[in-house]
């Protein structure tokens, strides 16, 4: 029997991409899963294929939607063992004239909501067995142009992680997993349990070949690390930030390396 049998995971942004892979991974291990997402059609379709999944449509920045989420949790499961703060989005940055309102909207989903969800989960967490996993991004430590709203949100959740770990320990362990390039193209909803992550063959594509791991990532790569961090095997780990990017942030790239040539961007090209 899996150590996740009988446990409850709450996941934000669980209808698609990385969040969907995390939902499926917990279900595969025997946990019950509640997830919230404004993508109603995808969420209902995923939940209908898996009896252990409870979908609550909603926006995590709205107090009324969170009230409904936690009322549903108390009514149906009565506890939360694992909280995965996955939801976020981008509205560009300074080069595309991201407005203060748009910037705030990204921070509301990416930083404020994870704090509020963590606060609301406290009465439902079991003592010394609960875990929060925040999904960050390699954008927290490196950037491309015009990514200020998303990069700021992901930098904020990295800092929120160690702050929560210190405040909530030893009752709750808190981690941050920051994906790099992940292929989140839609996949069919499987009829049975989700498979574990398996290596993918590298096509002859420079976007793949530039990664020291030899490929770009898949949502299941992130989901498997989330499972490990929520397990008892990670009982001595808290407050840490894990970059899962195929080694890209460890690669030094200079003009002429690997056939790469630096071509400075002009203002017109931006």
In this structure, are residues 170 and 191 in contact, taking their beta carbons and an 8 Å threshold?
no
- CA–CA gap between residue 11 and residue 20 (Å, rounded): 9
Tokens of 200: 């993918």
Catalytic residue among 4, 82, 150, 208: 150
Q: Are residues 176 and 161 in contact, defined by beta-carbon separation less than 8 angstroms? A: yes
Residue 176 in tokens = 């941050």
* Residue 254 among the catalytic residues: no
Helical H segments across the chain, by residue range:
17-28, 40-48, 63-76, 100-107, 113-121, 148-168, 206-209, 219-230
Which of 169, 70, 147, 183 lies closest to 116, judged by CA?
A: 70
Q: Which pairing describes strands 130-135 and 240-244: parallel, antiparallel, or unpaired?
A: unpaired
Of how many residues is the chain composed? Answer: 270
Q: What tokens appear for 238 in the block? A: 């808290």
The dihedral formed by the CA atoms of 64, 167, 10 and 80, expressed in degrees to the nearest 10: -100
| CA pair distance 124, 157, nearest whole angstrom | 22
Dihedral sign of CA atoms 242, 152, 63, 161 in order:
positive
Instruction: Look up residue 217 and give its DSSP letter.
Output: B
Active-site residue set:
150
């Amino acid at each position: 029997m899996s150590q996740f049998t009988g446990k409850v995971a709450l996941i934000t942004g669980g209808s698609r991409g990385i969040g969907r892979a995390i939902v499926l991974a917990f279900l595969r291990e025997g946990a019950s899963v509640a997830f919230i997402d404004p993508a109603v059609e995808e969420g209902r379709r995923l939940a209908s294929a898996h009896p252990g999944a409870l979908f609550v449509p909603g926006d995590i920045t709205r107090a009324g939607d969170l009230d409904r989420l936690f009322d549903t949790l108390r009514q149906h499961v009565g506890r939360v063992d694992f909280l995965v703060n996955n939801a976020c989005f981008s509205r560009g940055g300074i080069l595309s004239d991201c407005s203060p309102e748009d910037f705030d909207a990204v921070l509301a989903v990416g930083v404020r909501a994870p704090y509020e969800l963590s606060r609301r989960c406290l009465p439902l967490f079991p003592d010394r067995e609960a875990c929060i996993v925040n999904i960050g991004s390699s954008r927290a430590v490196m950037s491309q142009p015009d990514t200020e709203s998303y990069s700021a949100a992901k930098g904020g959740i990295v800092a929120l992680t160690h702050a929560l770990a210190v405040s909530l320990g030893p009752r709750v362990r808190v981690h941050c997993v920051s994906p790099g390039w992940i292929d989140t193209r839609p996949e069919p909803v499987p009829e049975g349990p989700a498979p574990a992550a398996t290596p993918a063959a590298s096509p002859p594509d420079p976007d793949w070949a530039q990664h020291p791991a030899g490929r770009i990532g898949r949502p299941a790569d992130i989901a498997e690390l989330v499972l490990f961090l929520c397990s008892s095997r990670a009982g001595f780990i808290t407050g840490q930030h894990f970059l899962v990017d195929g080694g890209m942030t460890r690669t030094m790239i200079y003009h002429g390396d690997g056939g790469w040539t630096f071509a400075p961007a002009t203002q017109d090209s931006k």
